[in-house]
Copies of this chain bind each other. A is one copy, B any other.
Amino acid sequence: MKKYVKKLCVKNVEFLREDYILLRLSDPHDTLPEMLPGQFVQIAVEGSPATFLRRPISINFVDKEKNEFDLLIHAVGDGTRALTRLQEGNTLSCIYPLGNGFRIPPIDEGKKKFLLVGGGVGTAPMLLYGQCLKAAGHEPTFLLGGRSRRDILELERFENIGRTFVTTEDAGMGEKGFVTHHSIWQTETFDSVATCGPKPMMMAVGRMARARQTECFVSLENLMACGVGACLCCVEKTVKGNVCVCTEGPVFNINDLTWE
């Protein structure tokens, strides 16, 4: 897929929480390229002296009709904090779409049931994945985990796409515990599991899937410099040796990783 480096236009900055924004971007001149779930954008952060490199952010939602797309950004450091200070009308230099997406099987192979498991800001690519699976005729089910109710973001958008289950560690919403404790694992089976979030969570989800002999794809968030396969900084150890997450991922079949 062709990659672009473009100045995109900030259409909206919505604070979902004091440290989470939904950033809506648009290309004022061209039709947005096709973007696959799991793909990401490398953003140049301005006005943050501590931020030298671009910041990778997953594509969260695409609105083809309006020619807009969303990024869900968690302000965890200087770079992402600077992004929360963006305002409508600002421009933002973006390299995109980067990486490989989650696989969307052709519907003529049969309608499939997907469990999409997200934790924290790792829910971001799951929304678009669900959106695309549904559009292709499949059945996405979401399982979102957080410490408490306030960690569950964009709930309505998930519910608009598919059944959505929640776990919180303090039982403030949905079932109590981690995503892997949710009863859905016992009551239903899925054709495919996908997950993105903190590594321990992804590993636990991977084990659950493996125990059920279900395929499992994870989206990794390794530190990146270039995002385009040039620097070899973002590598993950796989059964085929060190491979670049930015070009051969960020989505991997968990069986290809060397996570024991």
Residues of A within 8 A of B (CB): 47-49
In the assembled complex, the CB of A10 is this many whole angstroms from the nearest CB of chain B, namely 17
> Which B residues touch A47, using CB under 8 A?
47-49
Going nearest first, the 5 A-B pairs with the smallest beta carbon separation are: A47-B47, A49-B49, A48-B49, A47-B48, A47-B49
Tell me the bound Cα distance from A49 to B49 in angstroms: 4
Tell me the bound Cα distance from A47 to B48 in angstroms: 6
Tell me the bound Cα distance from A47 to B78 in angstroms: 11
> Which B residues touch A48, using CB under 8 A?
47, 49
Tell me the bound Cα distance from A47 to B49 in angstroms: 6
> Which B residues touch A49, using CB under 8 A?
47-49
In the assembled complex, the CB of A90 is this many whole angstroms from the nearest CB of chain B, namely 12
Tell me the bound Cα distance from A150 to B140 in angstroms: 65
In the assembled complex, the CB of A79 is this many whole angstroms from the nearest CB of chain B, namely 12
Q: Which residue of chain B has its CB nearest to the CB of A45?
A: B49
